[in-house]
């Protein structure tokens, strides 16, 4: 037996007689008393056998010790490619329009906003793409996107009906999600999203209290949008699909993000939505880089926000990745309103980032970009190969990697604080 290369051990101030043990490969978290920690260290450093069989079993179960012949990098590589080239799952992000009723200050699509409605030919080609794969599919995941998708609710209605019919006929599990600014959420549409369009979840953004949000996320004519979105949420929250409130965070609003949560509390919404922070980045020349928080700064802001508002800190617990996202999954595509295909939604509207166009015929058009997304292997990357957090990062955001900017998982900057807070939360729950 040998130790895993992905072990972390920290002091645990709440119980000074114990160590906090975390393994990034199995995502295990445990408390270990000092006597057992000494036994572990003696075994690792001096090969002194551990006599406590239960302790050995616990170490194996958590992945803290592994068989001598186990190559953890090879295991990560295997899991990566098993998922990356899995053809039983199809992921589609469908931008039904390139138009938007907002003009957000940091929008990375602002240079490609146009009054483009997805025509019938593109819709038919999407349906054909799904039909072509239907026989081997187990799961179809669709994210409705834009622009602002609710500007084209008629297209979503039409496509949803046809997609769900294919899934029913072929016993395919269907998941649907929507990214919307929330301004057009009338009671009729809210009810329709969940009951007829089978949308399980949606993201709506509030960037601060009213004065902050309205400066950052105004209508095309410059009018404020905060009260309209808030009223829509209050009126429709009981019939909406699961709602996540995203707070896009940068230097300009980081000191006021907690006011968003207070507004939600004051309006009896805090317990009915999931609140999280988004990292504003200077993508596609859409924003000023000096206004963006560093990954480290964003990580600390996120942790402070969760603690200050007494939110479930376990939501910050590290997550295991195989492939990182749809951009580095072979069977995942972003479909523009004009039928152009991309691997990442950050690439929408950028001609040189297209990988093809519907209908898909033969090999992709931009093979270099396609292969750069799909053939990257972090287990061979000199920057990643020795990183103990590789299993919860797997090379980080593929888009950021190709842009040559910092793409490490933000967890690395505050890992100890995250784990200690999560352990404290788990202990508290067990004592109730």
What is the Cα–Cα distance from 314 to 331, expressed in whole angstroms? 31
CB 29 within 8 A of CB 20: yes
Give the closest residue to 217 by CA, choosing from 250, 170, 195. Answer: 250
Give the closest residue to 228 by CA, choosing from 267, 269, 186, 191. Answer: 186
CA 21 vs CA 17, 48, 63, 68, 71: distances in Å: 13, 20, 11, 21, 21
What is the Cα–Cα distance from 255 to 248, expressed in whole angstroms? 12
In what helix (H) or strand (E) does residue 22 lie, and over which residues does it extend?
strand 18-23
C-beta neighbour count of 400 within 10 angstroms = 18
406: tokens are 């910092």
CA 429 vs CA 144, 227, 419: distances in Å: 37, 36, 15
Taking 70 as the threshold, does the pLDDT of residue 66 lie above it? Answer: yes
* pTM beyond 0.85, yes or no: yes
Taking 60 as the threshold, does the pLDDT of residue 286 lie above it? Answer: no
Residues 2-17: what's their mean pLDDT?
Answer: 93
The pLDDT of residue 398 is 93
pLDDT-wise least confident of 118-127, 202-211, 255-264, 277-286: 277-286
Q: Which CATH architecture does the domain made up of 87-316 adopt? A: Alpha-Beta Barrel (3.20)
339: tokens are 């039928």
The pLDDT of residue 97 is 95
Confidence of residue 44 (pLDDT cuts 50, 70, 90): very high
| pLDDT (tens digit per residue) in 382-400 | 989 999 999 999 999 999 9
Instruction: Classify residue 394 by its DSSP letter.
Output: T
Confidence of residue 431 (pLDDT cuts 50, 70, 90): confident
What is the Cα–Cα distance from 127 to 118, expressed in whole angstroms? 13
Exposure pattern of 242-265 as b/e (b: 16+ CB <10 Å)?
Answer: ebebbbbbbebbbebbbbbbebbe
Q: Which string of DSSP letters, residue by residue, matches 188-245?
A: HHHHHHHHTS---EEEEE--SSHHHHHHHS-BTTS---HHHHHHHHHHHTTTS-EEEE
Taking 70 as the threshold, does the pLDDT of residue 363 lie above it? Answer: no
Cα 296-297-300 angle, rounded to 5 deg: 90
| pLDDT (tens digit per residue) in 215-258 | 999 999 999 999 999 999 999 999 999 999 999 999 999 999 99
Task: Show me where the domains of the chain are located.
Answer: 2-70, 87-316
């Amino acid at each position: 037996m040998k130790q895993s290369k992905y072990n972390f051990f920290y002091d645990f101030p709440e119980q000074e007689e114990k160590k906090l043990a975390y393994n990034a490969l199995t995502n295990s978290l445990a408390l270990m008393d000092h006597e057992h920690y000494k036994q572990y260290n003696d075994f690792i450093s001096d090969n002194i056998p551990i006599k406590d069989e239960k302790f050995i079993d616990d170490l194996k179960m958590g992945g803290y010790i592994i068989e001598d012949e186990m190559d953890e990098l090879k295991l990560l590589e295997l899991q990566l490619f098993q998922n990356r080239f899995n053809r039983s799952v199809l992921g589609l992000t469908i931008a039904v329009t390139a138009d938007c009723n907002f003009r957000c200050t940091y929008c990375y699509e602002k240079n490609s906003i146009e009054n483009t409605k997805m025509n019938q030919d593109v819709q038919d080609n999407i349906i054909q793409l799904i039909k072509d794969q239907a026989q081997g599919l187990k799961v179809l995941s669709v994210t409705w996107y834009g622009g602002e998708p609710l500007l084209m609710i008629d297209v979503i209605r039409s496509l949803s009906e046809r997609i769900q019919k294919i899934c029913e006929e072929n016993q395919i599990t269907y998941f649907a999600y929507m990214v919307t600014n929330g301004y057009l959420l009338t009671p009729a549409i809210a009810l329709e999203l969940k009951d007829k369009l089978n949308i399980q979840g949606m993201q709506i953004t509030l960037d601060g209290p009213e004065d902050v949000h309205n400066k950052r996320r105004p209508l095309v004519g410059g009018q404020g949008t905060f009260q309209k979105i808030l009223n829509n949420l209050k009126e429709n929250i009981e019939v909406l699909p699961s709602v996540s409130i995203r707070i896009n965070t940068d230097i300009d609003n980081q000191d006021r993000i907690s006011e968003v949560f207070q507004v939600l509390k004051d309006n009896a919404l805090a317990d009915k939505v999931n609140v999280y922070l988004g990292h504003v980045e200077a993508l596609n020349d859409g924003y000023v880089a000096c206004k963006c928080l560093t990954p480290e700064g964003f990580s600390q802001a996120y942790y402070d926000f969760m603690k200050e508002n007494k939110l479930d800190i376990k939501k910050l617990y590290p997550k295991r990745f195989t492939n990182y996202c749809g951009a580095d999954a072979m069977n995942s595509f972003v479909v523009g309103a004009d039928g152009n295909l991309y691997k990442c939604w950050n690439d929408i509207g950028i001609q040189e980032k297209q990988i093809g166009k519907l209908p898909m015929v033969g090999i992709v058009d931009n093979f270099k970009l396609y292969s750069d997304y799909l053939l990257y292997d972090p287990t061979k990357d000199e920057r990643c190969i020795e990183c103990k957090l590789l299993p919860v990062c797997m090379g980080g955001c593929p888009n950021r990697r190709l842009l040559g900017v910092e793409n490490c998982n933000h967890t690395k900057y505050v890992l100890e604080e995250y784990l200690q807070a999560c352990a404290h939360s788990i202990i508290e729950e067990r004592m109730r």
